[in-house]
Amino acid sequence: MAVVMTLWNSKVIKIIAGFLFSILLLNALISNGVDYTATRHMTIQNETLGFEHVYAIGLKERTDKRDFLALAASIVGFQVDWLDGVKPDEVHPKSLPQGMNMTIIKPTVAACWRAHMNALRTVVEKRHATALIMEDDADWDVSLKQQLREFARGLRTLSPTKTASKQAPYGTDWDLLWVGGCSTAAGVNETQFYAIPNDPTVPGMNRRSFWESTRYVYRADTGCCLYGYAVTYNGARKILASLSVDHLEIPVDNALGDMCGGKNRPRIQCYAPHPNLIATHRRAGSSYKDSDIETYGQDNWHPDEAWDLVYSTKLNLHRLLAGNETVTSQWPDDHKPWSPAELKVKEFQYPQGFHVAYSDDV
């Protein structure tokens, strides 16, 4: 009888073990399949915004800008490592690429070029799969993580590879994501877009945007200003080779725009949102303190402003540090139905977009 019970117990144990193994296997398959979409979106909520690393470029002396950006990053919940900016006297004439005429290009513009090349070289040397690079006066919406999550969905919709790993929610089938600049544009023959309608974070047409209440994601053909951009490892290598090893006759952002469009350079894969997700902020006061590239007189004053951002993190910084649950619009008197003057941050749900294909036949 004891032998029979032992055999029976052995069979039961095997059945239970097999059942548990099946459950674990099924759970693993589901985690990597049906629920994988939600998982990869959540990685954008981490402290590097879904990229392998986040860098900011700034002069050591501009501690004011470093302090402000560090506080703004802490509000949204990500970490930034600093890369020192470059001064004009630190750019040796022998290091300049072919074609850079210093009688035409200002020394500060050359220093800006070198600072961005240093950032790209860092990505290459550290072999980052992806990295986000921003300038020290960058600003962003308080909902940046939600915005980037939907941008990533649009990016995967438009790119040849529709899937992404948990470590790279944006995928790696691109070279440059121009998420922050003065402007970007799609090519005249571009037909594929990702539209995000009724976006409260889109400024009205009276402020900047070309499309009322709708944000678009597209393959970019050009762009300017480098408030914030992301690169892949291969993208960083291509840009560094083209803009440092080869030739450069114009400011670095314009040359990068040429690379996106394949104008006199090998074309790279660029994608961008419009309006941009990362912008620039200017504190109220004299324009003299705004830029380390351009020179402005001390008698030129302006109010506190953030380029193209509705719910700017820096404009709402003191409000959020005080524990307030709402943020205010930069333009509270615009009375846009899709964009309230005051927004409850924790209750805000960023809208979902969809694929749009244009045809000449329509």
Q: How many CA atoms lie within 13 A of 125 on its CB side?
A: 6
Q: How far apart are CA 99 and CA 222, in angstroms?
A: 21
Residue 170 CA to residue 50 CA, distance in Å, equals 8
Q: Which residues pair with 134 in a beta bridge?
A: 56, 228
Buried b (16+ CB within 10 A) or exposed e, 288-316: eebebbeeeeeeeeeeebbbbbbbbbbbb
**pLDDT value, residue 289:** 52
Tell me the domain boundaries of the chain. Answer: 39-280+351-357
* DSSP alpha helix (H) spans, the chain: 2-31, 36-42, 63-76, 107-126, 144-158, 233-240, 252-261, 317-321
Per the structure block, which two tokens stand in for 21?
């193994």
pLDDT number for residue 16:
36
Fold classification of 39-280+351-357 (topology level): Spore Coat Polysaccharide Biosynthesis Protein SpsA; Chain A (3.90.550)
Contacts of 278 (CB under 8 A, 6+ apart): 134, 138, 139, 140, 144, 179, 180, 227, 228
Whole-number pLDDT of residue 98 = 95
Residue with tokens 């408030």: 227
In order along its 362 residues, the chain shows pLDDT tens digits of: 433 333 334 443 343 344 333 333 333 333 333 333 543 455 899 999 999 999 999 999 999 999 999 999 999 999 999 999 999 999 999 999 999 998 889 999 999 999 999 999 999 999 999 999 999 999 999 999 999 999 999 999 998 877 777 778 999 899 999 999 999 999 999 999 999 999 999 998 887 656 668 999 999 999 999 999 999 999 999 999 999 999 999 999 999 999 999 999 999 999 999 999 999 998 755 454 555 555 555 667 667 789 899 999 999 999 999 999 999 999 999 878 889 999 999 999 999 999 999 876 65
Q: What is the pTM of this model?
A: 0.85
Residue with tokens 């073990």: 17
Amino acid at 141: D
How many Å separate Cα 324 from the centre of its chain? 26
Tell me the CA distances in angstroms from 56 to 31, 135, 194, 216, 309, one per residue in order: 34, 5, 28, 26, 19
Residue 167: per-residue pLDDT: 74
Q: Is the peptide bond before 275 cis (omega within 30 degrees of 0)?
A: yes
